[in-house]
Structure 1
Amino acid sequence: MAKTYTDEFIPLTVSILTVSDTRNRANDTSGNYLADAVSNVGHNIREKAIVVDNIYKIRSQLSSWIADEVTQVIIITGGTGFTERDSTPEAVIPLFDKTVDGFGELFRQLSYDDIGTSTIQSRALAGLANDTLIFCIPGSTSACRMGWEKIIKSQIDSRHKPCNFALRLKNIGSECGTRG
């Protein structure tokens, strides 16, 4: 059985995608928060992008990161609600090789403390595509903070016990001897 954690921190390469029809680099508080939070714990930011809420533009950006040999984690903020323009789940789900069902369930459970039953309108989700871990969270900065602090940060930390996703991602095997 492969080891599911290590005592050493392994910095991962993370790309951040903001899905929004109104955000730009100056007012992307959620994307900026995530980039700072990821960097502050020692991971590397490969790229931060903003795309309009369009299934094909989302898939295009994601596909390039999934296919590259560098990006190990993608965090998407925005487009997870139920308005006409919210299309992140529809764009992302067909790209998954495996879903991480527990992520959306846990996100909504934790979110209940902040927003009550309105949490059922969050379509937060996660999955793996080409050994790239993808998290989709709502676009509010508070939702990003909660998702990062309470779930994502530990699940991409190679030291988190009893298990984490870090050792399952592309380009980790040669460093840790757990994947080939």
Structure 2
Amino acid sequence: MDFDSILDQATLAETTVPLCLNGRLRAEYERLKTAIDERSAQAEAGGLPGDDRLASRGPTPDPDQPELDRLAEEMRRHTVEFTLRALPRPEWTKLFADHSPRTDRQTGKRDPRDGLGVNSTTFFPELVRASIVSPELSGNRWAKLYDRISDAQFDKLATAAWNLNRADDDIPFSLTSSPDRRNSDGS
């Protein structure tokens, strides 16, 4: 394929970030999963001291496993796949320039929270909002989402948006997989 054809088909990098937007379900799932894991570990360790009832039986499913499966399915129904797209270079450059890092007025040193070269408090909300292409988050929807997600969930979105724009996403070059690789004898 020639360069012009490749250039005509060029698109910005995209990724998806799934987030379960029902924190109550997540908490119930984690509580039940922990209880099941503890019982499983106890059974693998031989159960209670002096209790050999499990010695003659094979592994039995945990009685709470159907409830855990139900919670997982309900969580899937409350999970939204956010599609994020890298920003065009001019938009990225402007966003970066508009959010310069803070400096301490007395010492003139950069605020340690701004080690990436931007004001992390103002930059990342704008980056995330500008990067999300699906679902559409115009107007009130963005404010509502921003107010209802946890810091950890926001960090997943922010990390994905940052990586789309700053991480190397090209296919790594490898001599062993190159179709143009020549043998040592030149053939």
TM-score (normalised: structure 2)? 0.22
TM-score (normalised: structure 1)? 0.22
Structure with max Cα Rg: 2
Return the structure number with greater strand share.
Answer: 1
